[in-house]
Copies of this chain bind each other. A is one copy, B any other.
Amino acid sequence: MPTWEDKLILPDGQIASYQQEEHTRKFKLVAEPIAHNILPEVTIDVLGYNGNTPGPMIVVKQGEWVEIEVENRTEGPTTLHVHGLSKPNTQDGRPPIEPSPKIKPGERFTYRFQALQVGTFFYHSTENFQENLGLVGAFVVLPNDYNTHQVMLPDRDYTLIVQQWQIEQPELGKVFPGTYKPVKFGIQPNFFTINGKCFPEATPLQTKFGERLRLRFINKSSSSHSMHTHGHDFNIVEVDGFTRTGMMDDTISLASGKRIDVELIANNPGKWPINGTKTFHQSNNGHTPGGMITQLIYNE
């Protein structure tokens, strides 16, 4: 019998591997400089976990303990904060307010805490704008007993992390190929990605007629994004890991720091955009189409 974990898909990314020891899942994240392609012709010198941005998706079951060893191969200190998941502040990754260490370059630290809440969360560095430069990843806690959980198992369960990047370009309206170091402050973003890829590079989501899909939208960026799937409505099932009922929408406003899980019924065959509705965000530096668009494609 398939489990919920078998259903999870992070397009253009990896599910994190781990070692299970009793009730603990042990993960390893290496924070390091990476050269990452948001488009075939645009490479960004940013930071990633285990070679990619967003980092690998961490998946645990409710009640399990989690250990995340973070190795810092970046040039400055780093930290790891799992946003939304309650845990002791020694493990929460927000120094200097919390008694949680800064991990110096070349050093390691292992965070350990129990995943008490079910839902969609994300992890990120809290140091010096590193989250704007790529140090972010999904963190999903599944219910520990699917059969009794009120939310039925979806046919497919996609996680989509939106990001935005401020990359110097001589002018708006076209894409200038090259390798760039994004501006860490990110006040004036001009490239917009889903799981690290601009349209048309984002790998489409697949479905079949009649399926029930879950989409987990995650936003750590500093803008809100209005996410929308053409031809389909969204049933909002969870916000920040908390159940919602009777809340249909076709466009969700995904504010900074929020996670919205929606379900949609695959009842309208074809090929469809899944996108942020802000016009400039549907471009690569003003060149359309581009940006924060991926696709939903029916196979039969």
- Chain A residues proximal to chain B, CB less than 8 Å: 81, 83-84, 86-90, 92, 94, 96-99, 127-129, 131-132, 172-173, 185-188, 220, 222, 224, 226, 228, 230-233, 239-242, 247-251, 253, 255-258, 268, 270-273, 276-281, 283, 286, 288-289, 293, 295
Within the assembled complex, what's the spacing in Å between the Cα atoms of A188 and B239?
30
CB distance from A282 to the nearest CB of B (A): 8
- Docked pose: A250 CA to B84 CA in angstroms: 6
Q: Assuming A187-B188, A280-B187, is B253 touching A258 (CB within 8 A)? A: yes
Decide: A251 near B255, CB < 8 A? Known: A188-B187, A231-B89, A272-B97.
yes
**Closest approach, in angstroms, between the C-beta of A236 and any C-beta of chain B?**
10
Chain B residues with CB under 8 Å of A281's CB are 222
Contact of A250 among B128, B131, B241, B270 (CB under 8 A): B241
Is B98 within 8 A of A270, CB to CB? yes
Q: How far is the CA of A173 from the CA of B96 in the complex (A)?
A: 18
Nearest residue, chain B, Cβ from A257: B277
CB distance from A279 to the nearest CB of B (A): 5
Evaluate whether A132 and B86 lie within 8 angstroms (CB atoms) in the complex, with A92-B230, A230-B98, A253-B253 already known.
no
Q: Is the CB of A279 within 8 A of B230?
A: no
A–B complex contacts, Cβ < 8 Å, 9 sampled: A83-B251, A97-B271, A222-B279, A224-B253, A240-B249, A251-B258, A256-B276, A256-B277, A257-B277
